[in-house]
Amino acid sequence: MKDRHQKTRDVTEGVPPLAPDSAVALQERVARLKEALAAGHGPEYLQELLPPRPADLAWDLHLLSELAKIPHAAVPLLLADLFGKSPDKKRRKALKKALHVLKTRGVLIPEDLLPREEPRSPTPPEAPVLSARITPVYGNGECYVILEGPREILGRGSLLVSRVSDSQGFRECSLFSLSKKRREEFWREFVAEGIDEMVPVPPSYALRLLEEALALTPDGEPHRDEYLPLRENLWRHLGRPDEAPALLDLLPPLEQAERNRALEDSRKLARHTLFRTWLPSLEEIKPWLERLQEAQDSPLVLTEHQQQARQEMVVDEAAAALFPPAERDRWGRRLLRMAYFFHLKGQTEEAQSARAAGEDVLAGERGALAGETPLLQELVRYALMLAQEFIKQQEPQSPPSGLVVPPWTP
């Protein structure tokens, strides 16, 4: 006999998975909440551990899903405090599902827990909602821009996925019409391909990126033709892209003292996972590794200070060649976009460092005394180190010395 009880769906069904670092951060917060519940802390303390993110629907829905798994008497009140007054329909629907899951697990849910919804008078239909996400900027100047919304805006589809380049325009542009199940599979495939870092952005910002890509795309390019039919509708709902706030206006102000500190700290970004694609390739860095070796072995270098100065000169020359002056404006804008990406992720120090480095690159040549932009220096220095380690690993191992010779030694 079939079970008449229908399985309760998870509140995150159809929601994109969180980026790995966000997923880890969520699990850490939930773990601290469980400890606080065990210690008997009050509602105010519990709320401070799990602040909702009004601009990040995916985070809030995953948070609701995790809280529904904790059968503790204090959780229903916590859920009500966090989301009970939310005007967002999706959050309220997910809240009710989470409370239902807790109730099926034996947790008492007070009847007056949520404010009673008054009967609503007829209102005009709500405007269709469009959401937007972007990936970080890769070292080749490309990123993904993803729009998701109803057909009233996106025409014959509900998901627009574009890969745009700041030098070549549209590299991909595809409009999909997917069921909920197929959309979940799509996001899993997206993450499986290594595209697992995304942040929600204002749709107007995403539209500006698409319009900049359109201006760079040659006529007749198929990806350009995929975007053009959607353009009028997007402008109607989001406004003119040239009226959107400038990128620097979207970032918090940075005082001069903070800028100097952030510029020096930008060296750390060279080893950040999001900057791996910014590192020069082995083929690009290899000639400079040879130059560096020559500087180290030069008989003209007499002191350690002289040798260090020669090595720094090679690093600066490499940075000037690998990040040429003619392309500095492009590199500077990429860094400012990365600053906004970090800002949206709530990573203030990284955002300030990327902004300071971007503004420094856009400012032009620093002069002999100031030296090269610290981040560009460090990208070259780190690439040199990695190349040196890789080449060393490829060298044949010398057989061990001694009377006993291994049988595989010729």
CA distance 310 to 308: 5
Looking at every residue in the chain, the average pLDDT score rounds to 85
* More reliable by pLDDT, 41 or 408: 41
* Cα dihedral value 154, 160, 166, 168, nearest 10: -90
CA distance 147 to 174: 11
Strand partners, 159: 148, 176
Looking at the fold, whether 307 and 377 belong to one and the same domain comes out as: yes
Q: Are 63 and 50 in contact (CB under 8 A)?
A: yes
Instruction: For 212-221, write each residue's pLDDT tens digit.
Output: 999 999 998 8
Looking at the fold, whether 93 and 217 belong to one and the same domain comes out as: no
Is 118 among the domain residues? no
CA distance 237 to 59: 25
Q: What is the pLDDT of residue 88?
A: 81
Query: b/e per residue, 297-333, with b = 16+ CB within 10 A?
Result: eeeebeeeeeeeebbeebbbebbeebbeeeebeebbb
Q: Name the pLDDT band for 124 (thresholds 50, 70, 90).
A: low
Q: What is the pLDDT of residue 409?
A: 39
Looking at the fold, whether 281 and 387 belong to one and the same domain comes out as: yes
Strands 169-176 and 131-134: unpaired
Tell if the pTM clears 0.85, that is, is over it.
no
- The residue among 185, 212, 244 that closes a domain is 244
Q: What is the pLDDT of residue 295?
A: 76
Strand partners, 199: 134
Q: What is the pLDDT of residue 118?
A: 56
Q: What is the pLDDT of residue 406?
A: 38
Tokens of 387: 């190349």
Tokens of 306: 């002289």
Q: Name the pLDDT band for 180 (thresholds 50, 70, 90).
A: confident
- The residue among 218, 244, 270 that closes a domain is 244
Instruction: For 326-385, write each residue's pLDDT tens digit.
Output: 999 999 999 999 999 999 998 999 999 999 999 999 987 654 445 689 999 999 999 999
Is 210 among the domain residues? yes
Write the CB contacts of 323 (distance below 8 Å, at least 6 apart in sequence).
Answer: 331, 361, 376
Instruction: For 36-68, write each residue's pLDDT tens digit.
Output: 888 888 888 888 888 777 778 888 888 888 888
Q: What is the pLDDT of residue 11?
A: 58
Is 143 among the domain residues? yes
pLDDT over 90 (residue 94) = no
* Phi, psi of 12, rounded to the nearest 5 degrees: -95, 10
Calculate mean pLDDT across residues 118-135.
Answer: 69
Looking at the fold, whether 268 and 385 belong to one and the same domain comes out as: yes
pLDDT over 80 (residue 302) = no
Q: Percentage of the chain surpassing pLDDT 90?
A: 43
Q: What is the pLDDT of residue 15?
A: 67
Q: Name the pLDDT band for 78 (thresholds 50, 70, 90).
A: confident
End-to-end CA distance of the chain: 74
Looking at the fold, whether 51 and 177 belong to one and the same domain comes out as: no
Looking at the fold, whether 265 and 373 belong to one and the same domain comes out as: yes
Name the helix (H) or strand (E) containing 143.
strand 142-148
CA distance 321 to 215: 28
Range of the domain at 345: 256-393
Q: Name the pLDDT band for 317 (thresholds 50, 70, 90).
A: very high
Residues in the chain: 410
pLDDT over 70 (residue 401) = no
Looking at the fold, whether 157 and 61 belong to one and the same domain comes out as: no
Q: At what angle do helices 57-67 and 75-83 cross, to 10 degrees?
A: 160
Is 38 among the domain residues? yes
Q: Which segments of 346-406 are extended strands (E)?
A: none
Is 124 among the domain residues? no
Domain count, the chain: 3
Tokens of 345: 């992720």
* Phi, psi of 182, rounded to the nearest 5 degrees: -70, -30
* Phi, psi of 233, rounded to the nearest 5 degrees: -65, -40
CA distance 201 to 208: 11
74-88, 170-184, 200-214: least confidently modelled range: 74-88
Q: What is the pLDDT of residue 403?
A: 43
Is 121 among the domain residues? no
Instruction: For 217-243, write each residue's pLDDT tens digit.
Output: 999 889 999 999 999 999 999 998 888
- The residue among 68, 86, 104 that closes a domain is 104
Is 368 among the domain residues? yes
The single-letter code of the amino acid at 400 is P
Tokens of 12: 């995150």
Distances (CA, A) of 123 to 120, 126, 298: 8, 8, 81
* More reliable by pLDDT, 86 or 287: 287
Looking at the fold, whether 146 and 222 belong to one and the same domain comes out as: yes
CA distance 18 to 188: 11
Looking at the fold, whether 362 and 275 belong to one and the same domain comes out as: yes
Q: What is the pLDDT of residue 375?
A: 96
Is 159 among the domain residues? yes
Looking at the fold, whether 362 and 281 belong to one and the same domain comes out as: yes
CA distance 130 to 150: 7
Calculate mean pLDDT across residues 292-296.
Answer: 81
Q: What is the pLDDT of residue 407?
A: 37
